[in-house]
Amino acid sequence: MERKSPAFSVFIHACALLLAAVILAPIAWLFIMSISPAADLAAKPLRWWPQAADFSRYRQLLSTAENSAGAAFTSSLRNSLEIAGMATLAALALAIPAGWAVSRTPAIGWSLSMVIATYMLPPVALAVPLYMGLSHLGLLNNVFGLALVYLTILAPFTTWLMKSGFDSIPREIEAAAMIDGAGLFQTLRIITLPLAAPVMATSALFAVLLAWDEFFYALLFTSDQRAKTLTVAIADLAGGRVSDYGLIATAGVLAALPPVLIGLVMQRALISGLTSGGVKG
Amino acid sequence: MSGTWMTTRAWLLMLPLFVVMVAVIGWPLVDTVSLSFTDAKLVGTGGNFVGFDNYTNMLSSSNFSRTLVTTTLFAVISVAAEMVIGVLAALLLNQEFRGRAVLRALMILPWALPTVVNATLWRLIYNPEYGALNAALTQLHLIDAYRSWLGEPGTALAALIVADCWKNFPLVALIALAALQAVPRDITAASLVDGAGPFNRFRFVILPYLAGPLMVALVLRTIEAFKVFDIIWVMTRGGPANSTRTLSILVYQEAFSFQRAGSGASLALIVTLLVTVLAVAYAALVRKTAGSAA
């Protein structure tokens, strides 16, 4: 094996420290801003570390008192949860049968390529008719309408992931169950779907992350607390005349918390999903 | 069981997905095409048929060519930087050092941060009066006076590219790392015995393993960067003086700010065509690298 010189080892550790600093500094700063008193953030020279940690902004944003900053934030939090949940469930309901069908019937594989090709479409290519259509149906500024639109993003992606998941479950297991007298739906229920549970979980998490992250359609199709999502609420805060930057940072920390936790816990599954999905495309 | 029944059954299982895809993607796309030949407004009915006027007006406008240049600059520079930094980070993470597992885990953080939160975070960092970048550079005596990084046409696009890179290079690094871990140890050992230097080892032994996954990452990232909207909208809205206006921002302005649905639709389709060309090039490239690396 290669013998590493001490100088090389020092160099590697220095690079690792640099990389850690690059990754962590912006995130740490977001959190520090959220707990620094407003005076510290406006001080010159800037105070990098708060004299006393101040968590009051978290209480402020999570309060539901009427007409407060908290009311707008908590309603957008609820909308994001509802929309991500509904869109994810609907996407999986479409993706599981379709993914299985494509996996077991290579003859219709081209139809999946068509569905995946839509993933390349820029959202702007659909935005105007979707806006007019939602407006016609009375679904503008409505959580159901936005969840429906999110299927344009979630459904192709989850179908793709589910198909590669079913590919890794041998057809012979299904065939054996059928020979033992199980019907198709019984086989799927008892054999295939339990084996596909991890892939379903990964697909669901990806779908939630995609929906949680979405901004363009939410910006276009929502206008007030009835349907505005977190991403729009945060963009409003960032672009508005909020004088307390710590409050904007706090909203950012709260919105980032769920996906960051999912990312850390599910790291391995997410990366294998990303690489397999990417390579098999 | 007969093949015909299998195929019919498969189609039946695909049907719900197809119905929804036609409703939310197929029909809107067709409608965008038909709108693009009219002078329809966003609200109100109809619009008159105007042939290819929207397309010719759009393609000959200086707005379009300038925006195309901005978009290309953004996509090429940010993706190239993400690839280079990502591969370097992956090579580092493949070495042995204390805390490696923790650092690998941390790499997921920027990727997991919602795009809008990332944009907001960097907007705060670049803030002209209270931003951390101004404070840090001043305290290190690198600049004399606070600057408006996002407010000056000369620095705004570069500032956006840095923010985009920071969020996206870790994903490239993780994909490259997964590929590096698949390189058999005896092959690298054999190349050492044969006297290959570090550069040749990377070029001829390791890079072939990286080529496939990296090519996929490269083209998917390029397509995404070409469609970019969120980070730019939150950080600059295309300003100052339209210096960061990308194609998606221009479509938004045309169709929704100015409510010119027809003209916006034609621009959206031009963008779609450009992305499709990229996607087809993607398919060809991936097939080629997959063939040569195998």
Structure token pair of residue B223: 């397509």
B19 touches chain A (CB under 8 A): no
State yes or no: pLDDT of A134 exceeds 90.
yes
Output the pLDDT for position B290: 65
Output the pLDDT for position A95: 95
CA of residue B238 relative to chain centroid, distance = 17
- Asked whether the beta carbons of residue B6 and residue A105 sit closer than 8 angstroms, the reply is yes
Tell me how far CA of residue B243 lies from CA of A21, B154, B222, B236, in angstroms: 30, 8, 20, 9
B13 within 8 A of B19, measured Cβ to Cβ: no
Could you give the ipTM of this predicted complex? 0.91
State yes or no: pLDDT of B60 exceeds 50.
yes
Residue with tokens 């149906």: A137
- Sequence-distant (6+) residues with CB within 8 A of B229 are A123, A124, A215, A216, B246, B248, B249, B252
Alpha-helical regions (H) of A42-123: 56-62, 69-104, 109-117
B125 touches chain A (CB under 8 A): yes
* Spatial distance between the Cα atoms of B26 and B32, rounded to a whole number of angstroms: 10
- Asked whether the beta carbons of residue B119 and residue A270 sit closer than 8 angstroms, the reply is no
Distance of residue B138 Cα from the nearest chain A Cα, in angstroms = 9
Largest CA distance in chain A: 78
Output the pLDDT for position B292: 60
* Spatial distance between the Cα atoms of A104 and A91, rounded to a whole number of angstroms: 20
Q: Kindly give the interhelix angle for A197-213 and A143-167, rounded to the nearest 10 degrees.
A: 140
More confident residue, A84 or A277: A84
- Sequence-distant (6+) residues with CB within 8 A of A275 are B175, B178, B179, B213
- Asked whether the beta carbons of residue B130 and residue A245 sit closer than 8 angstroms, the reply is yes
Average pLDDT, stretch B16-43? 92
* Domain ranges (residues) in chain B: 48-293
Indicate the CATH number of B48-293 among 3.90.1570.10, 3.40.50.300, 1.10.3720.10, 3.30.930.10. Answer: 1.10.3720.10
- Asked whether the beta carbons of residue B14 and residue A29 sit closer than 8 angstroms, the reply is no
Largest CA distance in chain B: 79
The model's pTM: 0.91
Element holding A228 (H helix, E strand) = none
More confident residue, B152 or A278: B152
* Spatial distance between the Cα atoms of B251 and B42, rounded to a whole number of angstroms: 13
Distance, first Cα to last Cα, chain B: 37
Q: Is the domain A65-280 a CATH 1.10.3720.10 member?
A: yes
Scanning A59-78 for CB atoms below 8 A from B yields: none
* Domain ranges (residues) in chain A: 1-54, 65-280
In terms of Cα–Cα distance, which of A279, A119, A276 is closest to B215? A279
Distance of residue A87 Cα from the nearest chain B Cα, in angstroms = 12
pLDDT per residue over B232-248, tens digit each? 999 999 989 999 999 99
pLDDT per residue over B108-137, tens digit each? 999 999 999 999 999 999 999 889 999 999
* Spatial distance between the Cα atoms of B82 and B173, rounded to a whole number of angstroms: 9
* Spatial distance between the Cα atoms of A68 and A72, rounded to a whole number of angstroms: 7
- Asked whether the beta carbons of residue A100 and residue B21 sit closer than 8 angstroms, the reply is no
